[in-house]
Structure 1
Amino acid sequence: MSIKTALSTILRKYRVIMDTEESPNPYIRVKIDIMMKAVDGYELRLEKREQDQQL
């Protein structure tokens, strides 16, 4: 439960942006096993949200 609380706090305070491409549907190479995951990992950027910005 504490992980969910920490994650929700981060998502409320920061915007998570994929750093690889600017298009809304970036190309991601995936590996399909029991779980599908990115081959090259995930490149993310966090931007601090404005104080007056609401979700």
Structure 2
Amino acid sequence: MTKIEPKNTRVPTKVGQTLSNYINRLKAGGTPAKVAQSRCCAKAVTMLFKKLIRQIT
């Protein structure tokens, strides 16, 4: 999460871009920073779990 939160250290991967866009939309909508961070973490876990399942099967 430390790589997604500050704009100048965001990861330039597909997953990083998706999470970056997601957290930007949350913050632009007025979501508090801690809530946005928590939701972004949950989305990251979901995305990475799905990717893991695709690799296993």
| TM-score computed with the length of structure 1 as normaliser | 0.28
Indicate the structure (1 or 2) with the bigger Cα radius of gyration: 1
Structure that is richer in strand per residue: 1
More helix by share: 2
Relative contact order higher in (CA < 8 Å, ≥ 6 apart): 1
Could you state the TM-score of these two structures normalised by the residue count of structure 2? 0.27
